[in-house]
Structure 1
Amino acid sequence: MATETVAKPRTSVRVGVQKFGTFLSGMIMPNIGAFIAWGLITALFIEKGWIPVAELGGFGTNAEGDPNVGIVGPMVTYLLPILIAYTGGRMVYDVRGGVVGAIATMGVIAGTDAPMFIGAMIMGPLGAWTMKKIDALWDGKIRPGFEMLVNNFSAGIWGALLALGGFYGLSWVVQRFTDGAGAVVGFLVNNGLLPLTSIFIEPAKVLFLNNAINHGVLTPLGIQQSLEQGKSILFLLEANPGPGLGILLAYMFFGRGAARASAPGAAIIHFLGGIHEIYFPYVLMKPILILAAIGGGMAGIATMAITNSGLVAPAAPGSIIAVLAQTSRDSYVGVILAVILATAVSFLIAAVILRTSKNKGDDDLSAATSRMEAMKGKKSSVSSALTGDQAGTSGAQPGTVLTRPVRNIVFACDAGMGSSAMGASVLRNKIKAAGFPEVKVTNSAIANLNDTFDVVVTHQDLTERAQPRTSSAVHYSVDNFMNSPKYEEIVELVRSSNSSTPAGDAQPAAAAPTAAAGHGAHAAEPAPAAGAQATDGQAAEGKGVLLRESVILNGTATERDAAIDEAGKLLLDRGAVDVSYVHAMHEREESVSTYMGSFLAIPHGTNDAKEHINHSAVSIIRYPEGIDWGGKQVKFVVGVAGLNNEHLHILSSIAKIFTNKAQVAQLEEATTVDEVLELFRKVNA
């Protein structure tokens, strides 16, 4: 049977810019509180502030006749860049990377008088990445007892060298770049051309390309301009809520159907909550409305330029509350007017477009939301406000039409040993219960995928990586592998695709093709526990994979990273892994959460970390009070290190238990380790 499919997707320039912008945003956004603190202190205490205080604002002289340093200057010169560098370094190589990145950044800070935000964004990740590569050179080669000595001195020596390099080299380069970019902005302002930036900024917002521009260029330049002039227009080039509000108001008055009904709620979230992406689907339903956003953006920028208005610090998120909180003392009239006029111009243009068009904006809002999420690369946090709880998650990824019976389904994750194995076990049981035992459900690392599968299931943050390798398959994105509603859709797809197949055409389970043969052990066969019998009392412990000393009923950790360390230590104590694997468990968690649903998380290493596994092992820790796991409550943490398929038996047991509320309750009430192991034995009996 033929399969109709679009051309094999490639990593586009847009996706690359998105990823780059997301990385930059990841360094800035966690530190927005510090930016706000600096902005408030600046607005209050500088010489032109609301409450000028020379000792705090850094103007005038002290009793000894020396200039006051204040705290405004040191915060923007030292605190903010170092926070950015540490955050960027930690994103690359955990705390060790953050420390080295911060040390390296001091070089570029000391090498110039300008705030080194761009330098911090370079040196933080660079220092962490190079430190990671250096550590890899002697990983596993250090004599026991000398690890701390080597680790501390290597970080100190390399950090010092990077700081010297930054002082004598990079600081000059970044200073020249900053001066050049500042000159370009000055030229645009002096010649009245700054409003033209909306032609690029507004479409970039809808395509999720704005982070690279906003956090990579506008914020650093705006900070420097604010330090020199007390305010900057650059902070409101992208954050002005007016253009989006005007489009939503136009839908409220002239739209139809779900778009008109949902527009008032979206307007509140956009204007007061500052979540601008909520209006993107309304533009995607009718792309010509981008003209309204551009017009509104140009009107707002022109108004601020004419009134010489600006903010003292970034407004993040782009809420009117954040905008007003960061507005310079002399700019309230100009900023408020800029928001009002941007809204009005955007509304008028959008209203004309909607009224004169045959399509009044009553297209499928769910489809537009899905397109937005596809461009974003992950589920929108506000999509449910537009189309209900299932918005953006219902159905497969667009682009492929499957015209053959579903025979092979693969769950793919980064390492192919934990999350995907659990999800495969859950779906396998559902498909068998639906009467299709011949359908193979396997799991695999994304790196081991090939284009022989009918259906591919991935975490929503990994779908884009899996699609190029399996372009002829139907792709489903899920937000957790344990109890996703997508599983019912997949079962229905299996049922519908096989319902028209003559009985004689169905392949028996033993003869069904193993789609991933030769592409990694995890993809080669389904988890053996799907129908296996427990024997000799060993099944409960996974033939040595799970031992009673690796089960703790009362964990001591109180937060996610400490819980990962606790689960990893149990694996270390058994000699199943080395310490680099525990580091990779943290790296994996930063990439994609291992939260599975039903109070369960299964931290494990990345695909590259498999070389640090000595033998398969699983650890289980219960946290009766629960711990926060990226906004989700987790009571059970299962550490996983797997070679070949040795650990899949116990993971299948865990999957069966955690899809049964009664059995989860038994685990919560267990008072001995033997009760836990007995439950795993019974579930496979």
Structure 2
Amino acid sequence: MKNKIQRFGKFLSAMVMPNIGAFIAWGFITALFIEAGWLPNAKLAALNGPMLNYLLPILVAYQGGKLVGGDRGGVIGGIAVIGVIVGAPDYPMLMGAMVMGPVGGWVIKKFDKAMEGHMPAGFEMLINNFSIGILGMILAIIGSYVIGPFMAGVLVVLTAGVDVLVNHGLLPLAAIFIEPAKVLFLNNAINHGIFTPIATLQAEQAGKSIMYMLEANPGPGLGVLLAYWAFSKDKATKDSAPGAIIIHFLGGIHEIYFPYILMNPVVIIAPIVGNICAITFYTITGAGLVGPASPGSIIAFMSMAPKGMGMVITFLGVAIATAVSFLIASPIVKMADHKSLEDAQAKKDSMKAEAKGLTTVSGADVQAKDIKKIVFACDAGMGSSAMGATKFRNRIKDLNLGITVTNTSVDNVPADANVVVCQEILKDRAAKSAPQARLITLENFLADPHLDALYAELETLTTGKTAEADKTEAPAEEKKETKAGILVPEGIKTGCASVDKETAIRAAGQLLCDLGYVDANYIDAMVEREKIVTTYMGMGVAIPHGTSDAKETVKKSGIVVMQYPDGVSFGDEKANLIIGIAGVGDEHLEILANIAGSLEDEALLENLKKNADADTIMKTFG
């Protein structure tokens, strides 16, 4: 049921999101040129009506028809919606467009399917054009007499319902449903599929609408991010919060804060109460925006506020939501210990994928050398995915691999995508959309070990140059000397007798310590890491290493290899090779990628696990 709701919500938002620029243009014309606007101008204000009543519904209907029936579906959807507009001349027919556009696309799609193999030679153009014209005319007539009046009635009922909620002070309770739905990536569907049509009708009659403010307010999410920045005990989460704040508050990409809530679901209480308080304030003060604030940036939110006190009230509502959300989220974040935050990430199998150096969650087994196109996917294909694609594109630019990095809707991944990157919650839809691609799921587009591992894997394809290091090349002899200590003969132990898991991990940690890679405290950190989530990666190999908090105990990067022919039990599995790792900064990611590459030969791996001597192991990993 949840997936069906998400797909329906995605479809609604997919009709509206490509046309947001038109909504913004209409919003600015309204805010600037109507009689109560910033620059009253009767002639320019006359643009308001045609844009609202004709342009926006036609664009939405065209997009809806195109989603279902391609370009021909878009054309017939545009024709059909004119009938709805004429059938309900007193109401903006955005909701009518969301019905007639897909219906038109479906009709022409069915017609084209029926004509396959039956099209007379030489009559293709005639039939194609007349079919759109005739079927479009029929749908327009139906829209004028049936759909238009019906949708007008629906709008009247919905608007009356909103009025009842406002008059009885119940509208703030809508936040109880809005905020959890947003975290499930239904934010665009709620805002543009439900609130915007109702708000548009109210704004046309009253000059503004509070409905534009319910979902788009950036305050609730800002409060959550500030709490993580101030009180998170997880360094990676804390460090990523400032960037997320900028992207959320100024860029308007609300999806960026959803993983912070999914990491600790109790935090959802904070934005719910924050938004309840803001909506209550807006209801009491009679606030409203003159047009849709999309994306939900403070810039867009304030630009749609009425002039004068309207701007002050709008800003205060954002401040109230932020303050309340921050005050509630802070103790929750503060009380969540480091282990619980890492455990949330463990539920996504991040450690297992990181250990492999291969971030595949599902989908095709695509190797780094075969990657030509990486697609970042989100619900609508315009928010967090665009931001993530831009960041990763810039990150790999200096690797000069010729890889295309782009973004799209999770349900419209192109067939030539080799790798798809999306949030964990969208992985099922991504897998269905792109079964040919390797699927990578993320906790956070700003700082996620899966993306780091993907970068490290791609970096191994180069000649050893690190794009994020200093561009000055060191002499080859110096580089060889620097890397020579990663694995030394003294760090290899073969034919070890079987022991329990903790003893084996401590033995690997002690060897790292004895060889000068780490301090003694790192050994306990390796055991602690194993308690959070297993470091067994499959194929009889485990790669124990310390928690992120133990980074300061690492003196230099290195590995040790311990061979247990009879195996060490890691739950239901047995590890014959235990590879202890210590990495300075992010160097462990490169080490992991190299180890994964070394283990691709199954015959070699079997030999390494039980029979290989130290020289063979040294040649393999050295």
Q: Do they fold alike, i.e. is TM over 0.5? A: yes
Q: Give 1:494 shift.
A: 13
1:73 aligns with 2:49: yes
- Summarize the Cα distance change of 1:92–1:367 in structure 2 as closer, same or farther, 3 Å threshold: farther
Distance in 2, Cα, partners of 1:71 & 1:414: 35
What SS does structure 2 have at the residue aligned with 1:477?
strand
Within 5 A, what are the aligned runs for 1:136-215? 136-215=113-192
- 1:367-406 to structure 2, matched below 5 A, reads 380-382=385-387
Is the CA contact (8 Å cut-off) linking 2:378 and 2:422 kept in structure 1? no
Q: 1: distance between equivalents of 2:92 and 2:272? A: 31
Residues 245 and 343, structure 1, Cα contact 8 Å, conserved in 2: yes
Question: Structure 1's 369 and 138: CA in aligned 2 closer, same or farther, altered over 3 A?
Answer: same
Give the drift of 1:77.
0.5
Structure 1 residues 357 and 151, CA, compared in 2 at 3 Å: closer, same or farther? closer
After superposition, what is the alpha-carbon deviation per residue over 1:230-289, rounded to whole angstroms, capped at 9, x for unaligned?
Answer: 111111101111011111111111112211111111111110011111111111121111
Matched, 1:497 2:485: no
CA distance in 2, matches of 1:78, 1:414: 29
Q: Matches of residues 455-470 of structure 1 in structure 2 within 5 Å? A: 464=428
- Which SS does the other structure have where 1:363 is aligned? helix
Distance in 2 (CA, whole Å) between partners of 1:466 and 1:301 is 35
Asked whether 1:229 is paired with 2:229, we answer no
Q: Deviations over 1:478-522 (max 9, x none)?
A: 59xxxx949979xxx99952789xx9xxxxxxxxxxxxxxxxxxx
3-state SS of the aligned residue for 1:30?
A: helix
- State the match for 1:350 in structure 2: 329
8 A contact 2:30–2:290 mirrored in 1? yes
Deviation at 1:354, TM superposition (A): 2.7
Match of 1:332 in 2: 311
Distance 1:97 1:126, change over 3 A: same
TM-score (norm 1): 0.54
1:94 maps to which of 70, 87, 111: 70
The residue type paired with residue 318 of structure 1 is: G
Q: Is the 8 A contact 1:22 1:212 kept in 2?
A: yes
Give the aligned partner of residue 10 of structure 1: none
What one-letter code is carried by the residue in structure 1 that aligns with 2:198?
L
One-letter amino acid matched to 1:33: G
Match of 2:5 in 1: 17
Matching residue of 1:639: none
Give 1:341's match in structure 2, choosing from 309, 317, 320: 320
How far apart in 2 are the matches of 1:93 and 1:82? 16
Write the deviation string for residues 601-635 of structure 1: whole angstroms up to 9, x where unpaired. Answer: xxxxxxxxxxxxxxxxxxxxxxxxxxxxxxxxxxx
1:258–1:365 Cα contact (<8 Å) kept:
no
1:320 match: 298
1:44 aligns to what SS in structure 2? helix
Q: What one-letter code is carried by the residue in structure 1 that aligns with 2:4? A: G
The 1:301–1:377 alpha-carbon spacing in structure 2 relative to 1, beyond 3 Å, is closer
Q: 1:120–1:467: structure 2 CA closer, same or farther, 3 Å change rule?
A: closer
Does the CA contact (< 8 Å) of 2:13 and 2:380 recur in 1? no
- Residue equivalent to 2:406: none
CA distance in 2, matches of 1:75, 1:185: 25
Cα distance in 1 between the residues matched to 2:340 and 2:541? 38
Shift of 1:131: 0.8
What's 1:119 paired with? Answer: 96
TM-score, normalised to structure 2, is 0.59
Q: 1:22 to 1:294 in 2, by over 3 A?
A: same
Q: Structure 2 matches for 1:623-634, cutoff 5 A?
A: none
CA offsets per residue over residues 165-196 of structure 1, 9 Å max, x none?
00111112111111111111101111111111
State the 1:91 CA deviation. Answer: 1.5
Other structure's SS at 1:141 match? coil
CA 1:286–1:19: 2 relative to 1, 3 Å: same
Query: Which amino acid is 1:222 matched to?
Result: A
Matches within 5 A, 1:507-656: none
Partner of 2:248: 270
- Cα 1:351–1:109 change in 2 (3 A) is same
**C-alpha separation in 2, matches of 1:236 and 1:414:** 28
Indicate if the aligned counterparts of 1:266 and 1:385 stay in contact, CA closer than 8 A. no
Percent identity between the two aligned chains: 50
* Cα distance in 2, alignment partners of residues 46 and 114 from structure 1: 19
CA–CA separation in structure 2 for the residues paired with 1:414 and 1:316? 22
Q: For the structure 1 residues 349 and 279, does the alpha-carbon distance in structure 2 shift closer, same or farther, using more than 3 Å as the test?
A: same
Change (3 A) 1:381 1:124: same
Say if 2:377 and 2:422, in contact at 8 Å, map to a contact too: no
Q: Deviations over 1:327-386 (max 9, x none)?
A: 122410110000001000001111122334546974368558889x99969985556999
Q: CA deviation at 1:56?
A: 3.0
Closer, same or farther in 2 for the Cα pair 1:165/1:497, shift >3 Å? Answer: same
Aligned residue for 2:439?
A: 477
Find the residue that maps to 1:22 and give its secondary structure.
Answer: helix
Tell me how far apart the structure 2 counterparts of residues 171 and 201 of structure 1 sit (CA, whole Å). 28
2-structure distance, mates of 1:142, 1:282: 55
How far did 1:17 drift?
Answer: 1.2
Question: Unaligned regions of 5+ residues in structure 1, if any?
Answer: 1-12, 58-69, 391-412, 424-456, 504-685
**How many angstroms does 1:107 deviate by?**
0.6
Letter in 2 for 1:14: K
Task: State the distance in 2 between where 1:364 and 1:388 align.
Answer: 30
The structure-2 alpha-carbon separation of the partners of 1:353 and 1:27, relative to structure 1 and needing over 3 Å to count, comes to same
Q: Quote the residue 2:86 is aligned against.
A: 110
Name the structure with the higher helix share.
Answer: 2
2:279 partner letter: I
SS of the equivalent of 1:25 reads helix
Partner of 1:287: 265
* Secondary structure class of the residue paired with 2:439: strand
The answer as to whether partners of 1:354 and 1:361 remain within 8 angstroms in 2 is no
Matched with 2:23 is 35
Aligned to 1:45: 33
d(CA) in 2 for partners of 1:247, 1:329:
29
Q: Using the alignment, how far apart are the partners of 1:283 and 1:388 within structure 2?
A: 27
**Across the two proteins, how many residue pairs are aligned to each other?**
410
8 Å Cα contact 1:377-1:460 kept in structure 2: no
CA separation of 1:367/1:355 partners in 2, compared to 1, >3 Å: closer, same or farther?
same
Q: 1:39 to 1:197 in 2, by over 3 A?
A: same
2: CA distance, partners of 1:250 / 1:386: 24
Asked if the contact 1:369/1:383 (under 8 Å) is kept, the reply is no
Distance in 2 (alpha carbons) for counterparts of 1:414 and 1:181:
30
CA contact (8 A) 1:207 1:376 kept: no
Q: Is the 8 A contact 1:131 1:155 kept in 2?
A: yes
Please state whether the residue corresponding to 1:273 is helix, strand or coil: coil
Which runs of no fewer than 5 residues in structure 2 stay unpaired?
351-375, 396-409, 442-452, 459-534, 543-564, 566-622
Change (3 A) 1:275 1:173: same
Report how far residue 160 of structure 1 moved: 0.3
Q: Report if the CA contact (8 A) 1:21-1:215 is conserved.
A: no
Task: Report the alpha carbon displacement of residue 140 of structure 1 after superposing the two structures with TM.
Answer: 2.9
What residue identity is the alignment partner of 1:44? L
